[in-house]
């Protein structure tokens, strides 16, 4: 489903609000944050004084809207479709003639072409936070796509933070040898490509072919050497070059400012922009949309674990912890330590807390109560240790469960209410 269709589908469901008054770009992050705390709808800003596009914020800021944009009722159904697509990827549908009706800017001034903005007060520059970096893996020839943050450094230059392990390896394998890496940057991509930018499908798997299998013939690509989804709102093409510069500070998912000493530069040769474009703006830092997108990968990994672990009843990646904590609701008597080695490999999640069914996993006070009252000895705490491939040291698992929470010594009290 292309970006415009996803927006329309969410609008039909009453989950999009249009802001008709004039606004500067600088005012958009605050308006989106206010909406998150009220009704958490997507917002469309049609009249932005210093932009040649309508700006869409918080489109993927809820599970309902993510699923709606991918024609799924819930995450379990979505990840089942993803499983089938990974098992049977499809050859790309190529169409000559390039993207849908668009204008092309050569060696663009990105501060003029892209309505980017600062999302946190002390961001060093405007940031492109909704850009999907597309590259071909030189080791396998497969296409990789992932969200990366990019500092708009002036002229046609971006500073790219290669955050995921696979894109970091691809950059190191080329730029690290002094060679440029051809890339594309997609803004407002089809939903299936957006999903693939969030999940880990294995190094040898072509993410575009998985997206093709999910979307069918509704998704088509240009016949360029690096294929571009033809319905993408903005498609930038260029090269990551062996030039490294200081990037940041910038507000990140942890609720902190991140500073990278040296990140590679990307020089954009051309920007292909659909006529009357819609610019996708993902609020940086701890925003609903940022966290919902960041947690799609961990949710998929936890769903795969749940399918062959019947004792794992459900899981939550609550917003109150910025998506960095997974709360696992497990069957009575199950000891989650048996899952530790698989849990450690879930990227971006720092910690895991296992609780019984009588604990509300989305409630921070409830989860803290379970830790205080039920994680009663040192054996209930486990930590990942390095060096292990694919595992960062310092992750933790807390077993905050009771073997028999119905026993009177462990049963939670309830407020007395007289019979009706």
Q: How confident is the model at residue 22 (pLDDT cuts 50, 70, 90)?
A: very high
Q: Which residues are bridge partners to 151 per DSSP?
A: 127, 159
% of the chain beyond a pLDDT of 90: 82
240 and 318 belong to one structural domain: no
Per the listing, tokens 């479709």 go with 81
One domain, residues 156 and 212 = yes
Q: Are residues 96 and 232 in the same domain?
A: yes
Residue 419: pLDDT over 70: yes
Rounded to an integer, the average pLDDT of 404-411 is 87
pLDDT at 100: 65
Domain end, chosen from 284, 318, 344, is at 284
Distance separating alpha carbons of residues 9 and 129, to the nearest angstrom: 23
User: 242 and 125 in one domain?
Assistant: yes
What does the pLDDT look like over 49-108, one tens digit per residue?
A: 989 999 999 999 999 999 999 999 999 999 999 999 999 999 999 987 666 678 889 999
Domain co-membership, 361 together with 280: no
Establish if 11 belongs to a structural domain. Answer: no
Domain end (from 240, 264, 284) = 284
Q: What is the pLDDT of residues 42-57, one digit of tens each?
A: 999 999 998 999 999 9
Does residue 177 carry a pLDDT above 80?
yes
Confidence band for 149, pLDDT divided at 50, 70 and 90: very high
179 falls within a domain: yes
Query: pLDDT-derived band of residue 192, with 50, 70 and 90 as boundaries?
Result: very high
Domain end: 284, 310, 342, which one?
284
pLDDT tens-digit readout, 208-244: 999 999 999 999 999 888 999 999 999 999 999 999 9
pLDDT at 146 over 70: yes
Instruction: Please state, for a pLDDT cut of 70, what percent of the chain lies above it.
Output: 98
Indicate whether 396 belongs to any domain.
Answer: yes
Residue 119 maps to a domain: yes
Q: What's residue 19's pLDDT? A: 97
Model confidence at 387, in pLDDT bands (50, 70, 90)?
low
Report the domain count for the chain: 2
Can you give the CATH number for the domain in which 364 is found? Answer: 3.40.1670.10
In a domain, 14, yes or no: no
Q: Are strands 221-222 and 94-95 parallel, antiparallel or unpaired?
A: parallel
Claim: this prediction has a pTM higher than 0.85: yes
pLDDT tens per residue across span 278-314: 999 999 988 999 999 999 999 999 999 999 999 999 9
Could you tell me the residue range of the domain that residue 84 belongs to?
A: 74-284
- Average pLDDT estimate for 169-187: 93
Structure confidence at residue 389 (pLDDT): 67
pLDDT at 139: 85
**Do residues 186 and 304 share a domain?**
no
């Amino acid at each position: 489903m292309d970006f415009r269709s996803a927006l329309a589908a969410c609008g039909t469901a009453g989950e999009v609000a249009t802001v008709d008054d004039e606004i500067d770009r600088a005012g958009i992050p605050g308006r989106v944050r206010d909406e998150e705390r009220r009704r958490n709808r997507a917002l469309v800003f049609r009249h932005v004084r210093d932009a040649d596009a309508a700006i869409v914020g918080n489109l993927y800021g809820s599970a309902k809207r993510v699923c709606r944009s991918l024609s799924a009722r819930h995450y379990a159904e979505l990840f089942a479709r993803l499983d089938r697509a990974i098992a049977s990827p499809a050859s790309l549908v190529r169409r000559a003639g390039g993207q849908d009706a668009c204008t092309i800017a050569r060696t663009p001034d990105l501060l003029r072409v892209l309505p980017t903005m600062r999302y946190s007060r002390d961001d060093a520059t405007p940031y492109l936070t909704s850009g999907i970096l597309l590259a071909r893996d030189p080791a396998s020839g497969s296409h990789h796509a992932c969200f990366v943050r990019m500092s708009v450094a002036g002229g046609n230059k971006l500073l790219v933070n290669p955050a995921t392990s696979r894109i970091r390896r691809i950059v190191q394998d080329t730029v690290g040898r002094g060679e440029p890496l051809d890339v594309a940057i997609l803004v407002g991509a089809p939903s299936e490509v957006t999903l693939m930018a969030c999940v880990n499908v294995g190094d040898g798997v072509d993410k575009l072919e998985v997206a093709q299998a999910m979307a069918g013939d509704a998704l088509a690509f240009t016949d360029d050497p690096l294929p571009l989804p033809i319905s993408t709102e903005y498609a930038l093409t260029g090269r990551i070059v062996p030039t490294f510069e200081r990037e940041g500070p910038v507000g990140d998912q942890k609720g902190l400012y991140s500073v990278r000493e040296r990140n590679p530069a990307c020089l954009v040769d051309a920007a292909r922009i659909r006529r009357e474009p819609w610019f996708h703006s993902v609020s940086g830092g701890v925003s609903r949309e940022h966290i919902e997108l960041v947690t799609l990968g961990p949710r998929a990994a936890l769903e795969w674990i749940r399918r062959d672990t019947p004792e794992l009843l459900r899981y939550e990646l609550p917003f109150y912890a910025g998506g960095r904590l997974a709360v696992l609701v497990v069957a009575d008597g199950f000891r989650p330590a048996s899952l530790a080695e698989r849990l450690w490999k879930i990227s971006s999640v720092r910690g895991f807390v296992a609780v019984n069914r009588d604990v509300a996993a989305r409630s921070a006070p409830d989860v803290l109560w379970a830790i205080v009252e039920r994680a009663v000895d040192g054996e209930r705490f486990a930590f990942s240790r390095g060096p292990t491939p694919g595992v960062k040291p310092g992750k933790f698992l807390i077993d905050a469960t009771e073997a028999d929470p119905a026993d009177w010594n462990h049963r939670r009290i309830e407020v007395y209410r007289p019979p009706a």
